Structure 1
């Protein structure tokens, strides 16, 4: 048995309608943004989702480091464990993003286990098999005291049947809004806890996959992993899950889970909209700077990364502008000589930050915090 999808309240309906309007506006906003900048934004949002979802499980890698790892940088100062977890999650997320328009797509137990192998295959052991249902009990430790089980998953022998039921549910349209179904899928999977490890990230990824299949926006513009990974929101996330009880009791009202997810969708849409607006303003400020100082327009890409992310590496700039190694090195060397950028580190580990003559206007825009509103308080 799975949790029944609750009826929406009038407040829920109002928030959902607002989310739909915001997402439609975002779709037009993205289409109106130059492809080069859109691609950079997609990479940032994907990296942010990977960093945030992994951070919930204790793997702490900054978004800018995830971006560098995704770009193929080898000399990023992260532990080998965090590197492996980041790249595994990124590979799975990339595959999920490619499934958005597959015509003969169907959810299945095999698909979910394959995704789990992509996420956890590097950790496969007989005790904690990847890509296979768990063979014994599973517990979620209380965040305040690891010796206490905040949640105990259903018996292992019930998992195959529950996952069969979930696959059938995923393939059946029950008339609920796709964002509501995605939220419910997350709750179903994390509550069944079918694997020995990786259940939280798999549940968040399933939600993202369902959003991708909806097709209104590319998943990186709609996924809520980044929102869930913010410290205060992570605590709220744990609290919402523990409200379900210490054991699997699906015959209950989960309206508060829906409200929590609608808030996440709404505030993540606000965040993405704010990011696009701010990035555009920073780009225009840097364009004025490049014109004023006679710099090649392509250098704006490197300067934009520094303003928005705090640094840029040669490989990222090289890829973004389709440059040769020598061209990228020359451009960055010239910017350092002009004190627009400052070089940090040596050889392959080198990256570039804002120098003393970096345009202050761009930094001020980039560092201005945005304000998020609670959709239920409007």
Structure 2
């Protein structure tokens, strides 16, 4: 037996209608080709992956996140924190592939494979296999158990029900609600030795991505969950009631997830606006100095993990000697600084560039506020 999808109140239905409008607007903006959307997509993908693993206590320095997720930096196999990040990112890449597969079907193997993707570095936790032992969740306060999962012998049957529901259950329910229920089903069965939260969030993202409105990184709510982890856990505790009781009302969980989507979509819209304004500032900066437009690419790269000669040359479609000359020009102007040597050389934005950008963004915000006055 699984939790029943609750009947939605008229108020919640109205909120979902507003959310649909916001998500459609976000989807249209994300789908519009712009010079900055690729960089923003990589940034958002990295932030989402880092947020999800942070919920479970993994920590990765902010400066390394984008490169690790993009595969430009290989993690030490013995470093659980960085391996958790790259493994989760791999699972989300798998989600993106399955989201666009017209022949996709839900099978238990889908969940098992996604779990293996996300937890493959934890070989002692049997990644990609159902658990064969009792398990529970310790309270955030450390005082006792917040949740005791179903007996391990019940896991295969319960997950069979979850998979069947994912394939054909409640198909007429709003996708945001259905994705929230998918998360609740998986995390309540707690079918794995570890990584149940990660897998639940991955499954939620896959259900959302299958509706085709937004790419997984723009439609997921990992960042909101990470920023509101105590509330996230407390709502789950309220709905679950300490043990597997699928006859309980899931409405508080649905309310929480809908609110999370509002928070997340607003953040994404703000990020899009900031990215557009940042690009405008960099174009104005290059134009005022009579530089070629392509230097905007190098300047933006320098702000996010650093510009590399080969990566800049590839994105700007120029030769390596031309790229070297461009980067040297930025160094001479005091806008970037060279770090490292030979293949490891990166060109990082200086404090001067960061300061100029902050002033420009504050100026754009002031103009926007005056326009609304």
Does 2:202 align with 1:205? yes
Residue pairs, 1:17-32, within 5 angstroms? 17-32=17-32
Partner-residue secondary structure (3-state), 2:248: coil
Contact 2:301 2:307 in 1 (8 A): no
Contact 1:133 1:196 in 2 (8 A): yes
Instruction: Return the alpha-carbon distance in structure 1 between the equivalents of residues 138 and 333 of structure 2.
Output: 54
Partner of 1:338: 333
Change (3 A) 1:123 1:53: same
Partner of 2:79: 80
Q: Cα distance, 1:224 vs. partner?
A: 0.5
Contact 1:61 1:78 in 2 (8 A): no
Out of 144, 147, 150, the position equivalent to 1:148 is: 144
Q: Cα distance, 1:69 vs. partner?
A: 1.4
Partner-residue secondary structure (3-state), 1:122: coil
Q: Which structure 2 residue ranges, 5 or more long, are not aligned?
A: 366-373
Partner of 2:114: 115
Instruction: Return the alpha-carbon distance in structure 1 between the equivalents of residues 74 and 5 of structure 2.
Output: 47
Out of 336, 359, 362, the position equivalent to 1:364 is: 359
Partner of 2:67: 68
Partner of 1:376: none
Partner of 2:39: 40
Partner of 2:4: 4
Q: Cα distance, 1:313 vs. partner?
A: 3.7
Residue pairs, 1:235-314, within 5 angstroms? 235-243=230-238, 244-307=240-303, 309=304, 311-314=305-308
Encode CA deviations 1:325-375: one digit per residue, 9 max, x unaligned. 5544443232112101123455555544333542745233557999xxxxx
Partner of 1:169: 165
Change (3 A) 1:71 1:217: closer
Change (3 A) 1:212 1:368: farther
Quick check: 80-89 or 91-100, which moved more?
80-89
Partner-residue secondary structure (3-state), 2:210: helix
Instruction: Return the alpha-carbon distance in structure 2 between the equivalents of residues 138 and 348 of structure 1.
Output: 47
Does 2:191 align with 1:194? yes
Aligned length: 362
Residue pairs, 1:94-109, within 5 angstroms? 94-109=93-108
TM-score (norm 2): 0.89
Runs of 4+ aligned structure 1 residues displaced above 6 Å come to 75-79, 367-370
Q: Which structure 1 residue ranges, 5 or more long, are not aligned?
A: 371-378
Partner-residue secondary structure (3-state), 1:150: strand
Encode CA deviations 1:96-117: one digit per residue, 9 max, x unaligned. 1111121121111111111111
Partner of 1:158: 154
Partner of 2:369: none
Quick check: 344-353 or 104-113, which moved more?
344-353
Instruction: Return the alpha-carbon distance in structure 1 between the equivalents of residues 331 and 86 of structure 2.
Output: 31
Change (3 A) 1:167 1:346: same
Partner-residue secondary structure (3-state), 1:358: helix
Partner of 1:16: 16
Contact 2:36 2:279 in 1 (8 A): no
Q: Cα distance, 1:61 vs. partner?
A: 1.8
TM-score (norm 1): 0.88
Partner-residue secondary structure (3-state), 1:342: strand
Partner-residue secondary structure (3-state), 1:140: strand
